[in-house]
Amino acid sequence: MQRDDQRDEVEMLALMLLIRRFEERASQQYQAQKIGGFCHLYIGQEAVAVGAVAATRPDDYIITAYRDHGHALARGTSANACMAELFGKETGCSRGLGGSMHFFDKTNHMYGGHAIVGAHVPLAAGMAFASKYLGEDRVTLCFFGDGAINQGSFHEALNLIALYKLPAVLICENNLFAMGTSVKRSTSLKQIVDRAEGYDIPGDILDGMNFREVRDKLAEIIISIRKDSHPAFVEVRTYRYRGHSMSDPASYRTKDELEKYRLDDPIIRLRAQLTREGRLTNEEFDSIDKKAKETVLAAVKFAEQSPELPVEGVYDYVYANSVAAGVSFAKSGGPAADTAATIG
Amino acid sequence: MREITYRQAVNEALAEELERDPNVFLMGEEVAEYHGAYKVSQGLLERFGPKRIIDTPISENGFAGLGVGAAMVGLRPIIEFMTFSFSLVAFDQVVNNAPNMFMMSGGQFNIPITFRGPNGPAHQLAATHSHATENLYASVPGLKVCTPATPRDAKGLLKTAVRDDNPVLVLEAELLYSSKGMVEPPDEELLIPLGEAQVKREGSDVSVICYAQTVSLALAAAQQLEEENISAEIIDLRSIKPLDEKAIFDSVAKTHRVVIVEQDRPFCGVGAEVCYRIQKNIFDALDAPILRVSQEDVPMPYNERLEKFVLPNADKLMSAVKKVCYA
């Protein structure tokens, strides 16, 4: 059931479609060599980010790993800013300095985009620690993949989060593969959620292809955390349709497996639910989809036409000025490497 | 001015910054109930309570990262490493997360965090516990690194570090904690800027550039050299990054001869960088090749006699000075 305090489901469906179309276009632009570096697509997993965000307040903290386009878009970062980031432009959400794996958006409380597997889980602990320290009732949502759960930083962070009773929801997006290694070949557990039990953190398994299930369960968890700070863990079972990154043909899995998940597509599923309930017509869906495609096309145009940072601007992003300490480490003098390194 | 120990100086800096800013907290292994492995945080738990003086499990990667995350959302953590040898377990957080966030977020997230604790060889702690990490960390853009050698610098640099809006490493030294020195009274605000070296002793024949544990070594050598009619100027870098080039160049322009005595290892050590900058900028001022005295390029042995051989010592320094002075 949709509660009053939850954002409109049609709007959420539109967001999922926007992510899908954005990623398709990103893939195309990557192949056209407009996008550099590594690029990991979120196609298939849309219900996780959108379902989770639908359960949060806008000031709750969101932090995720490198497959981050969907989380930023779900959080409200514009398609323009996201596409421009992929293009390395100054108008990107990280001014073209972070790229695909490092989307940041302070205004929308999106704290990255972190590309070292598991290394951001301690950061999430710190963000949740800060909320508790400051007496706020914000909740930190930390997304990571099934590959992160065997990393030391993940374990250290879970212990700290449990020990200090921090207001954090640990969201494992289990898409069955850490790059090309299946969970069965990487993890000694029968099910990932059992990791939480080792730290005395309550855990649940959610169907990541089901928007409503993700949203409703997380909403319930978040309400409980706001009342009395504690951590929670959810294993959200999902699937990425594409390879690990753009360079991965995903030959380690079968076509049948992919097809099975495609039939259970999160967008098709929410669309069917809404249609069945008489809340969405085919025409309305088509119009939403058309709008998503247009938004993304406009984003490509925006990214193409946006400027890049001037090269000497790179020194502006090494140190923040330290006015409080009475010492200025302000911009140094351009690309004369020695001098710049001395000052900063 | 009154005389206090280096340990007390660090303790005062912590207390004053905790008092001044409610968003400052101290976290690390044994910092609260045990009062610090080296008793640096004595009395802080009683004064500021468990909310702000926080014991952690033995999880350097975890709590260093927690600090970085807390700094992203407005707190100003002071993270203590029981020794910087253990910071290597948290290398990813200190090197990959703290200093990179500002760049990769396009300037949205600076990380005002202080990592502090003893660094460098102590006494017979063997290879795993004797790391001098200053050259490792100073090589990372986005980090600042200081190495206080005296109680006054320990207090003034730490207070500045806590107020800095960037990640700063304050590398203390176990063997210095009980050393004494004159420090301004507590009611007098003591902030020593990062990136300012100090002339510890004026001289005219040779510049001896040192920092941290090698400062006392250099001062003692200067005394002895004086008897042999060699006047050594002693420059304590105090900060490795930013590096006070001006102080170095001013001294070299005066003495024309340089020995760098550093506590880290020779290959890609701090001295290598200082040496490069001197020859690049004031080559013509030099009357002799620059020499470096550092550790030997080996993992630290436990055996006391071997350790002594590996460390920079008075004999090596004296001989280097005489060599550059052609004495």
Render pLDDT for A169-221 as a digit per residue (tens, 0 to 9): 999 999 989 999 999 999 999 999 999 999 999 999 999 999 999 999 999 99
Give percent of chain A with pLDDT exceeding 90.
Answer: 84
pLDDT digits (tens, 9 = 90+) for B206-232: 999 999 999 999 999 999 999 999 999
Same domain? For A83 and A103 the reply is yes
Q: Around B120, how many Cα atoms within 13 Å sit in the side-chain half-sphere?
A: 28
Same domain? For A59 and A192 the reply is yes
Consecutive H or E run containing B134: helix B134-138
Whether A136 maps to a domain, the answer reads yes
Consecutive H or E run containing B53: strand B53-55
Give how far A34 is from chain B: nearest CA, Å.
19
Edge-first strand listing for the sheet containing A110-113:
A110-113, A61-64, A140-145, A168-174, A232-237, A203-207
Whether A51 maps to a domain, the answer reads yes
Q: pLDDT value at position A246?
A: 87
DSSP state of B93: I
Same domain? For A217 and A164 the reply is yes
Is B286 strand, coil or helix?
coil
Helices (H) and strands (E) in chain B, counts: 13, 14
pLDDT digits (tens, 9 = 90+) for B75-95: 999 999 999 999 999 999 999
Reference B251, options B224, B220, B223, B218; nearest CA is B218
Q: pLDDT value at position A36?
A: 95
Positive or negative: CA dihedral B39, B44, B49, B51 = negative
Q: pLDDT value at position A6?
A: 54
Q: Which residues 250-309 on chain A approach chain B with CB closer than 8 angstroms?
A: none
pLDDT digits (tens, 9 = 90+) for A317-332: 999 974 443 333 443 3
What is the SS3 string spanning A98-130? CCCCCCCECCCCEEEECCCCCCCHHHHHHHHHH
How many other β-carbons are positioned within 10 Å of the β-carbon of residue A90?
16
Reference A247, options A87, A107, A83, A38; nearest CA is A38
Q: Which domain holds residue A142?
A: 8-309
For residue B193, give the nearest of A120, A327, A344 by CB distance.
A327
Query: What span, in angstroms and rounded, lies between the C-alpha atoms of B3 and B9?
Result: 10
Question: Which tokens is A82 given?
Answer: 């996201």
DSSP state of A307: P
CATH number of A304's domain: 3.40.50.970
Query: What span, in angstroms and rounded, lies between the C-alpha atoms of B30 and B58?
Result: 9
Same domain? For A290 and A321 the reply is no
Number of domains in chain A: 2
Overall residue count recorded for chain A in this entry: 344
B105·A319 Cβ contact <8 A: no
Backbone angles phi, psi at A234, to 5 degrees: -130, 135
DSSP state of B221: H
CA-based R_g, chain B, Å = 20
Give how far A276 is from chain B: nearest CA, Å.
43
Exposure of B209 by Cβ count < 10 A (0-12 exposed, 13-18 middle, 19+ buried)? Answer: buried
Same domain? For A30 and A14 the reply is yes
Whether A333 maps to a domain, the answer reads yes
A126 vs B contacts (CB less than 8 Å)? 65-73, 75, 77
Same domain? For A81 and A96 the reply is yes
B108·A105 Cβ contact <8 A: yes
> Does the pLDDT at position A292 exceed 60?
yes
Which residues of B are catalytic, by number?
60, 129
Query: What span, in angstroms and rounded, lies between the C-alpha atoms of B263 and B271?
Result: 10
Whether A3 maps to a domain, the answer reads no
Is A302 within 8 Å of A87 (Cβ atoms)?
Answer: no
pLDDT digits (tens, 9 = 90+) for A25-48: 999 999 999 999 999 999 999 999
The residues that bridge with B182 in the sheet, in sequence order, are B3
Whether A244 maps to a domain, the answer reads yes
For residue A344, give the nearest of B112, B141, B163 by CB distance.
B141
Q: Which band of pLDDT confidence, cut at 50, 70 and 90, is reported for residue A3?
A: low
- One-letter amino acid of A147: G
A317·B106 Cβ contact <8 A: yes
Is residue B18 within 8 angstroms of chain A, CB to CB? no
Determine which of A10-19, A333-342, B4-13 has the lowest per-residue pLDDT on average. Answer: A333-342
Same domain? For A110 and A15 the reply is yes
> CB within 8 A of B194, min separation 6: which ones?
A325, A327, B144, B146, B157, B160, B161, B164, B168, B239, B242
Question: Which tokens is B304 given?
Answer: 């006391």
Reference A131, options A116, A117, A111; nearest CA is A111
- What average pLDDT does this structure show over A233-262? 91
For residue B164, give the nearest of A111, A127, A325 by CB distance.
A325
Helices (H), chain A: 9-31, 46-54, 69-75, 79-86, 121-133, 152-163, 183-186, 194-197, 211-227, 255-263, 266-276, 282-305, 337-343
Query: What span, in angstroms and rounded, lies between the C-alpha atoms of A123 and B70?
Result: 7
Same domain? For A201 and A338 the reply is no
Positive or negative: CA dihedral A54, A57, A58, A61 = negative
How many other β-carbons are positioned within 10 Å of the β-carbon of residue B288?
14
Q: Which band of pLDDT confidence, cut at 50, 70 and 90, is reported for residue A340?
A: very low
> Does the pLDDT at position A86 exceed 90?
yes
Cα angle for residues A166, A71, A159 (degrees, 5° grid): 25
DSSP state of B182: E
Query: What span, in angstroms and rounded, lies between the C-alpha atoms of B49 and B45?
Result: 5
Question: Which tokens is B193 given?
Answer: 């800027």
Is B111 within 8 Å of B98 (Cβ atoms)?
Answer: yes
A126·B57 Cβ contact <8 A: no
Same domain? For A276 and A334 the reply is no
Whether A198 maps to a domain, the answer reads yes
Is A325 within 8 Å of B192 (Cβ atoms)?
Answer: no
B110·A320 Cβ contact <8 A: yes
Consecutive H or E run containing B305: helix B304-310
- What average pLDDT does this structure show over A233-261? 91
Same domain? For A232 and A324 the reply is no
Query: What span, in angstroms and rounded, lies between the C-alpha atoms of A91 and A305?
Result: 10
Q: pLDDT value at position B327?
A: 84
Edge-first strand listing for the sheet containing B239-241:
B53-55, B24-28, B76-80, B114-118, B168-172, B144-146, B239-241
Backbone angles phi, psi at A54, to 5 degrees: -65, -20
- What average pLDDT does this structure show over A306-327? 80
Whether A62 maps to a domain, the answer reads yes
Same domain? For A12 and A89 the reply is yes
Query: What span, in angstroms and rounded, lies between the C-alpha atoms of A250 and B93?
Result: 31
Query: What span, in angstroms and rounded, lies between the C-alpha atoms of A343 and B115?
Result: 20
How many other β-carbons are positioned within 10 Å of the β-carbon of residue B22?
14
Whether A288 maps to a domain, the answer reads yes
Same domain? For A177 and A300 the reply is yes
Question: Which tokens is A133 given?
Answer: 């320290």
Chain centroid offset of residue B153 CA = 10
> CB within 8 A of B242, min separation 6: which ones?
A329, A342, A343, A344, B144, B194, B195
Question: Which tokens is A2 given?
Answer: 């949709």
B66·A160 Cβ contact <8 A: yes
